[in-house]
Structure 1
Amino acid sequence: MIYQQGKVSVDQHFARFGSKSYAIDKINSVDVRIDKKNSNVWMLFAICALMALTIGFKSIGGWAVILVFSVIAFLTYRNQPAPVYHLMLATSSGEIQATSAGDRDAIADLRNAIESAMTQKV
């Protein structure tokens, strides 16, 4: 066994993802794609804060507006969803999304295991 994590395993002959199995010798290439659900809403609030700052609010109320926009921009930026990593297998039948995870290192380890199995001589 080259790799084992939950319902995913890789050996010299097969890559198994739950109930699906793919023969290692039928896999042409392995790719990792990143699905970033990136929200740029925080930029809108940051721009509003900068615009308010450049307009030159002199009163305490003006600074409060700048502070509110800045805090909202920071919180929106900080609460962006984490990216999801998809492991794609290319076979003669086409490209298949084998598995997905939010952990980049886990997907990289799985990719390395499949590539290692692909290069081993049987």
Structure 2
Amino acid sequence: MTIDRDFARFGSKSFAINKINTVDVREKKLRGKGAAIAVGVVAAVLLLAAYSGQGEGFGVFGAIAAIVAVLMYRRRDIYEYGLILVSSSSEEQLLTTRDRDEIDTLRAAVEKAMVGRGRQ
């Protein structure tokens, strides 16, 4: 990947800086908290069944499910970022990464080149 005052080159593709209208970063959540909440609900149902006298086995499985739910919930969310260049004729995703700093650095370099300040 190289960006100078005339072109942004990403692998085998080159884009003329003066033809780029917009630089965009899109964010996609790959892993969230939804599964942890679902396991927590199952744990609550099992623990309520054990408390109401349905059997001790429900309590053991409910406790295990509760621990799993807490561990899952504590995990950090994972995002994937995409760098998008938009011209008058098309929109092109150039790069996909989980590193937000890398995307921000590339976006800033393209924007500097767009306003004529990029000298790399």
Q: TM-score normalised to the size of structure 2?
A: 0.78
Taking only the aligned residue pairs, the percentage that are identical comes to 37
Query: Which residue number corresponds to residue 38 of structure 2?
Result: 44
Q: Give the alignment's Cα RMSD to 1 decimal.
A: 2.7
For residue 35 of structure 1, the aligned residue among 1, 5, 28 is 28
Secondary structure at 1:120's aligned position in 2? Answer: coil
Q: Which amino acid aligns with 1:52?
A: L
Unaligned runs of 5+ in 1: 1-7
TM-score (norm 1): 0.77
Letter in 2 for 1:38: R
Corresponding letter in the other structure for 1:35 = K
Instruction: Give the Å deviation of 1:121.
Output: 5.8
Q: Distance in 2 between matches of 1:71 and 1:106?
A: 36
Moved more, 16-25 or 79-88: 79-88
Q: Once structures 1 and 2 are overlaid, which stretch shifts more, 86-95 or 73-82?
A: 73-82
Which residue in the other structure is 1:21 paired with?
14
Shift of residue 48, structure 1, vs aligned partner: 1.4
After the TM superposition, which residues 61-100 of structure 1 pair with which residues of structure 2 at under 5 Å, given as runs? 61-77=57-73, 82-100=78-96
1:110 aligns with 2:106: yes
